[in-house]
A and B are shown apart, each in its own frame.
Chain A
Amino acid sequence: MPSHAGTPLIEARGLTRVYHRPRTSLTKPGHDVLALREVSLTVHRGERYGIVGESGSGKSTLLRLLCGLDRATSGSILFDGREITGLPERRLRFLRENLQIVFQDPMSSLDPRMRVRDLVAEPLVALGLPVGGRVAELLEAVGLSAEAAERYPHQFSGGQRQRIAIARALAPRPQVLVADEPVSALDVSVRGQILNLLADLVDELGLTLVFVSHDLSVVRHVCETVAVMSAGEIVENGPVDDVWAAPAHPYTRALLEAVPTLEGLF
């Protein structure tokens, strides 16, 4: 496995993000919400890194920071050795080329008025990269037919739409794929198709995967390493099999116990 042998690709140190709530009273200032406190993590090249947590745990905030979509209140993020915190958008091109995201709900992340061809080509156009025959190549890689290019998102099922979102993310040949709950909105019968596809693509293209989920059992199937988040902090991290077999933090234990499973029920 290439995981820990690889060099650090994403290094976050002491990330803190405070959101200021608007005031609700004329006399008192609005209060602050500490969404992320002193979070540090390292993702190695070629690693499959899972982030698990419930709503409000700060996993989405962390993800937004790692993707350069939000600014940390304090702390630093090195991507491939280069600082990304505090950089203006025009200087984030290297990040946009090398890190792409697949969102949870392919219904709202794909523009309903754009044809699949344009959706998949858009990241290339935005970065000024040549499109050429890349769209057909990408559609084939995610298991869609070439005719799909001429159609609109609403003409596809949820699983197929997630394939389109993956093709779009892979367009600029990124090194890192960030998947935010990519199968939570899908039916179980197609969940396996999408997870298999992601695993294949990560292998074939030598990608680094950051996979966010509320479901530790899905993370265990996909990732080697996991960070468990609660109340804005990473409460436990390490090899997923160790965390699964012997959770050290009470919150991880509660999370594991709460997940309903079919195994061992009968």
Chain B
Amino acid sequence: MLKVDGLTVRADSVELVHDVSFAIGPGERVGLIGESGSGKSLTALSLMGLLPEGVAASGMARLGDRDLVGVPESRIKELRGRKMSMVFQEPMTALNPLMRVGAQVAEVMTLHGKPRHEARARAVELLERVRLPEPAQIARAYPHQLSGGQRQRVMLAIALANEPGLLICDEPTTALDVTVQKQMLELIAEVAPALLFITHDLAVVASVCERVLVMYGGRVVESGPIREVFTRPRHRYTEGLLAASKLTPRGTRLPAISGSVPPAGRFPGGCVFRNRCPQATPACETAPELTGDAHAFACWHPAD
């Protein structure tokens, strides 16, 4: 379905994403996890052809038989919203406040050639599919009249409108309350064709995806089936992240990774994690390759 090979994203001389490769099969749900500044959103934006000005992607990314990187905007435009679509973190800024939500769902279909009256009718069906109550009424509402969870459902309806082959979700539930988040995650898992799910929350990714890519410093440092990566992490960063995600009983010290994520372009050479890694040695000054088939990791001193 989606194949990414050697994807690199640069802003001037600073490399923000380095040599990222992965594939997503039809129906597969893949998580992309990492902290803020790890390059996960840039990876998604470069697939959607939405990189900000002055930031450019190189390498290969292909959806079916169509190239996504290094092709003119006019080619990407045919795919975006039709063959692949994206749900963003903040539904209030992603929706047009001056347009009724039904019209916004219909718009993505008319843009890709569906007659207006058909699109209107289908919009209501889609709002029903994302389990909004009274979809015909919701279609006539403006975004500010809906709750955060309802707005995010509208975003999902827009994303699903043209039956895309790939859905990318970038922190779709971070702005939502936990009880609403739970419903939203169940819905995404149910309706997504192939899914690339970006989050910083390890527990969230574990409840939605089958496979996971761990990013740090613009590189994929570990990847594999989620159960294996989460129960037997090999990269020291994944290990630290998992330890830090679990809350130990009161009165005990919480595990944390020392230091903080450096700003873009300030990651150390060699292994990008070595300045925060408790196991780092001079060997880590050489960048480790991502090795392994199903469960791969890039670390000189992996955990067992």
Nearest CB on B from A73, distance (A): 25
> Which of A32-40, A86-94, A166-174, A217-225 lies at the interface with chain B?
A217-225
- Contact mask for chain A residues 228-266; partner B; CB cutoff 8 A; 1 contact, 0 none: 000000000000100000000000001101111111011
Closest to B258 in A: A193
A187 CB–B CB distance under 8 Å: yes
B117 CB–A CB distance under 8 Å: no
Judge whether A188 and B230 touch: CB under 8 Å.
no
> Which of B6-14, B42-50, B97-105, B173-181 lies at the interface with chain A?
B173-181
Picked from B148, B203, B254, the residue with its CB within 8 Å of the CB of A261 is B203
Judge whether A260 and B255 touch: CB under 8 Å.
no
Cα–Cα distance between A98 and B148 once the two chains are bound (Å):
37
> Which of B51-59, B82-90, B244-252 lies at the interface with chain A?
B244-252
Nearest CB on B from A191, distance (A): 7
B60 CB–A CB distance under 8 Å: no
Question: Chain B residues near A199 (CB, 8 Å)?
Answer: 251
B73 CB–A CB distance under 8 Å: no
A192 CB–B CB distance under 8 Å: yes
Closest to B253 in A: A196
Question: Chain A residues near B177 (CB, 8 Å)?
Answer: 54-55, 214
Judge whether A258 and B182 touch: CB under 8 Å.
yes
Q: Using A54-B178, A54-B179, A260-B201 as known contacts, say yes or no to A189 and B244 having CB atoms under 8 A apart.
A: yes
A159 CB–B CB distance under 8 Å: yes
Question: Chain A residues near B281 (CB, 8 Å)?
Answer: none
Judge whether A262 and B202 touch: CB under 8 Å.
yes
- Contact mask for chain B residues 174-195; partner A; CB cutoff 8 A; 1 contact, 0 none: 0001110110010000000000
Judge whether A260 and B179 touch: CB under 8 Å.
no
Q: A187-B200, A261-B203 are in contact. List 8 more A-B contacts (CB 8 A).
A: A157-B260, A158-B260, A217-B247, A221-B249, A257-B182, A260-B203, A262-B230, A263-B246
